[in-house]
């Protein structure tokens, strides 16, 4: 999974034309992943100001608050879920992202079967 972190402040400074040009670069990247047969999914996210956070305390108590929980300059802006051969393949795709400032975290999806999950490894019906 390629998790894309960006500074949202820069978005407000772009003209509509700059935003359209930027989206053309993202569309081209997405099309490349589809044509390569590695694209499993991906989405951009609405600005972090639209988020609601549920915080879980160690004792089980839960708190709901508006906005993102983490106080950081960069926010999760979106993700791509790609079916890559290995970590090097995933890094090669990450380096091709049209990110202008920010960072991309490359991380494998959890191997649920290896950790003993019956639901994720064999389907929800197996858990019934």
For residues 94 and 106, give the distance between their C-alpha atoms in angstroms, rounded to a whole number. Answer: 7
Share of the chain above pLDDT 70, in %: 89
For residues 56 and 53, give the distance between their C-alpha atoms in angstroms, rounded to a whole number. Answer: 10
Give the chain's residues under pLDDT 50: 124-128
For residues 10 and 95, give the distance between their C-alpha atoms in angstroms, rounded to a whole number. Answer: 21
Domain boundaries, the chain: 2-127
CATH code of 2-127, in short, is 3.30.70.1060
The C-alpha angle 39, 77, 70, rounded to 5 degrees, equals: 130
Dihedral-angle region of residue 41 (phi above 0 means left; psi in -120 to 50 means alpha; beta otherwise):
left
Q: What is the pTM of this model?
A: 0.80
């Amino acid at each position: 999974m390629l998790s894309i972190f960006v500074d949202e402040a820069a978005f407000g400074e772009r003209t509509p034309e700059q935003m359209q040009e930027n989206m053309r670069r993202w569309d081209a990247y997405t099309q490349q992943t589809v044509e390569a047969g590695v694209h499993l999914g991906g989405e951009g996210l609405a600005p972090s100001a639209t988020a609601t956070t549920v915080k879980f305390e160690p004792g089980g108590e839960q708190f709901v608050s508006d906005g993102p929980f983490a106080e950081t300059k960069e926010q999760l802006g979106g993700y791509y879920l790609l079916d890559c051969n290995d970590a090097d393949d995933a890094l090669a795709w990450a380096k091709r992202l049209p990110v202008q400032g920010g960072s991309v975290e490359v991380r494998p999806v959890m191997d649920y079967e290896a950790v003993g999950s019956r639901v994720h490894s064999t389907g929800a019906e197996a858990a019934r």
